[in-house]
Amino acid sequence: MSILNADLHCHSVVSDGTLMPEQLAARAAANGVELWSLTDHDEIGGQHRAAAAARAHGMKYLTGTEISVTFAGETVHIVGLGFDPDDEEMMRGLVETRGGRTVRAREMADGLAQVGIKGAYEGALKYVGNPDLVSRTHFARFLVETGVCSDMGDVFRRFLTPGKPGYVEHKWASLGAAIRWITRSGGMAVIAHPARYRFTPTEEYALFLEFKTHGGGGVEVVTGSHTVAEYVEYAETAREFGLAASRGSDFHSPEESHTDLGTLPDLSPKLTPVWEPLRDRVR
Ligand code: AMP
Ligand code: MN
Ligand code: MN
Ligand code: MN
């Protein structure tokens, strides 16, 4: 079970992806994925559908989510894998984490209106599959549709990142709470795409240290949001902190995502893949 085509990070219409869980499962299976996880942002509402679709395609499945956390003033994403999808504490925690999204979305639209972009809230809502989960991605789709921006990257650079008109500061879950929800329900917490945070080396070290202290178990090494040099860098970090390594495309949409499901390179055989300690949680 050591070398597997595992894809343990992607999004459906239950958060900010454009495909349904069943469509993602079919695409993953067609691309040769053997072990799959659907990891919607702050949501586990798609888990039973995803697990059933994985089974129908003969893929193994780990339950998944990607929890938004605020750490040292920055948003960090913690992937949860292999937890009980019916756990009440996890469900309550995620309801609370999602809670401020609609108010935040209205404030984002106000910021965009101030630079002359009207109707962004209603425009973003057209792309929303889950009314509890309006995300920056939905605003980005609207700004591409209206021709204000040429692509998603352009939107984030110009409008949706700190200091830009559509960016609104937000307080997400705490690191300790997110790890607790995941681990108490039988899962493993994994730091998502660590190279994407704007931390100093000291802050990053503090993140990994606190993550370990709270019971975090893994880190994404091979992900669609890392370069090859970053695979090497975070393989070293995984070994340094004694963390298992994860692999996932972070696929959102056939039109937008550069990395398709199941197409990333394998993890280095020197690493412990997350699916080894999680072997009893694989369905
Ligand atoms: P939110 O949770 O509402 O803050 O939205 C975060 C989501 O925005 C991420 O999960 C990505 O899907 C998307 N995102 C962030 N930065 C970028 C980027 N530079 N290009 C495309 N999508 C991005
Ligand atoms: Mn996303
Ligand atoms: Mn993420
Ligand atoms: Mn993601």
Ligand 1 binding site (Cβ under 6 Å of any ligand atom): 16, 41, 68, 135-137, 152-153, 156, 252
How high is the pLDDT of residue 3? 84
- With the most atoms of ligand 1 within 8 angstroms of its CB, the residue from 43, 154, 156 to mutate is 156
Given this model, what pLDDT does residue 31 score? 98
The arithmetic mean of pLDDT across residues 254-275, rounded, is 97
How much is the average pLDDT of 1-20? 94
pLDDT digit string, tens, across residues 110-153: 999 999 999 999 999 999 999 999 999 999 999 999 999 999 99
pLDDT tens per residue across span 28-41: 999 999 999 999 99
Residues 6+ apart with CB under 8 A from 36: 6, 7, 8, 25, 28, 50, 54, 59, 60, 61, 62, 261
Q: Give residue-wise pLDDT tens across range 158-216.
A: 999 999 999 999 999 999 999 999 999 999 999 999 999 999 999 999 999 999 999 99
Q: For atom 3 of ligand 1, which residue has the closest CA?
A: 135
> Span 40-67, mean pLDDT?
98
pTM, entire model? 0.98
